[in-house]
Amino acid sequence: MKKKVIILTNMFPTSKRKYFGVFVKEQYEALKENTEHEFEVLVWSKGGSRIAQIRNLLATIFSVVLKVVSKKVDIIHVHYGLTGIIPFILLPMLKLYKVKTVVTFHGSDILGESKVVKKISKLVSGVSNLNIAVSFEIFNKLSGDNKKIWLPCGVDALFYSDNQIKLNRKPVVIFPSSPSRPEKDFDKFLSIMKKVEDKIGCKVQTVVLENLSKVQILELFTSSCCLLMTSKYEGSPQTVKEAVLTRLPVASTDVGDVVSIVSGTELSCVTNDENVLSDFVAEMVINKCSSQYPKEFTNLYLSTSVANKLSNIYQEI
């Protein structure tokens, strides 16, 4: 039976922040293209002054109320625990109208440093109909085994290397985020790259993934020699999945689901030891190799596969 689903999120790309919440947008687009359900996105914008934030929150709540009372929604799928405060506030009304809630937890809502966000996320997880963890670490921290599942966000088929993607490896190392985000630990990245340059005796070009389109990211991944992620914590990082699909070697701290994602790939290094990471990156810079991934990778992480699994969830909830 066709369901009416609202994707409710505070993470969605804008013209100024092209990569912010892009995995939510990609999941929404994959669902629209590959399933029979009807979808609409409502974005709770948390930017601006305190007054603007309150105004945006109230406007988003009002939009949800209108959808519910006009019976234009069967399921509210929330992305990010903090955003779940909206259906939490409206819980009596949602129960009255028999609207189900699904919440996807992405990482910092459960694993981050904000006690307020983690408290709200815990409250939200307790009243939702189903909780989705994008990583095993998040899954293990969620309570209620009977209503939680592990399901990562899918990767755009654009990165699928079997689509005759041309590879042209150059001595370029990628930092897969904005240096301004403290949890990504850009200082550690610089420290490791200094060790790499000392090992090989020359400077190495580095590029940061910030405000790039998907096509630009694909071009970068196919023309670089290694992705080096130095995060303090992660959920199920999209950039690592994209790197694997484009056969780009991955070096990473041991965070989130990185070990599972790179499992079975030929060229990867996951450790918190900076010396080991620098040895691996130096080797990739010198040799400019391409990796391989196991066949089952696409069944787990390709966007179409994830969309089909979500479609079944919507039917069964």
258 touches 240 (CB < 8 A): yes
How much is the pLDDT for 210? 85
**Sheet containing 148-150, strands listed edge to edge, beginning at the edge strand earlier in sequence:** 38-43, 4-9, 75-79, 100-105, 130-133, 148-150
How much is the pLDDT for 163? 58
How much is the pLDDT for 84? 96
64 touches 40 (CB < 8 A): no
Instruction: Tell me phi and psi for residue 119, to 5 degrees.
Output: -65, -45
By three-state DSSP, how is residue 217 classified? helix
105 touches 134 (CB < 8 A): yes
What are the start-end ranges of the H helices in the chain? 22-34, 50-69, 85-89, 91-96, 108-111, 115-127, 136-141, 186-200, 214-223, 238-245, 258-262, 274-287, 297-301, 303-316
Q: In Å, what is the CA distance from 186 to each residue of 36, 190, 253, 288, 293? A: 42, 6, 12, 23, 27
How much is the pLDDT for 279? 98
pLDDT tens, position by position, 202-228: 999 999 998 788 889 999 999 999 999
147 touches 160 (CB < 8 A): no
87 touches 9 (CB < 8 A): no
Strand partners, 172: 205
How much is the pLDDT for 161? 66
CATH code, residues 158-287: 3.40.50.2000
Fold (topology level) of 4-154+302-316 = Rossmann fold (3.40.50)
Strand partners, 269: 251
Q: Spell out the domain ranges in the chain.
A: 4-154+302-316, 158-287
DSSP annotation of 52 = H
Same fold, 4-154+302-316 and 158-287: yes
* Residue segments in the chain with a per-residue pLDDT below the cut of 70: 161-164
How much is the pLDDT for 113? 84
Instruction: Tell me phi and psi for residue 160, to 5 degrees.
Output: -70, 110
- C-alpha closest to that of 226 among 196, 255, 259: 196
Q: How many residues does the chain have?
A: 317
173 touches 206 (CB < 8 A): yes
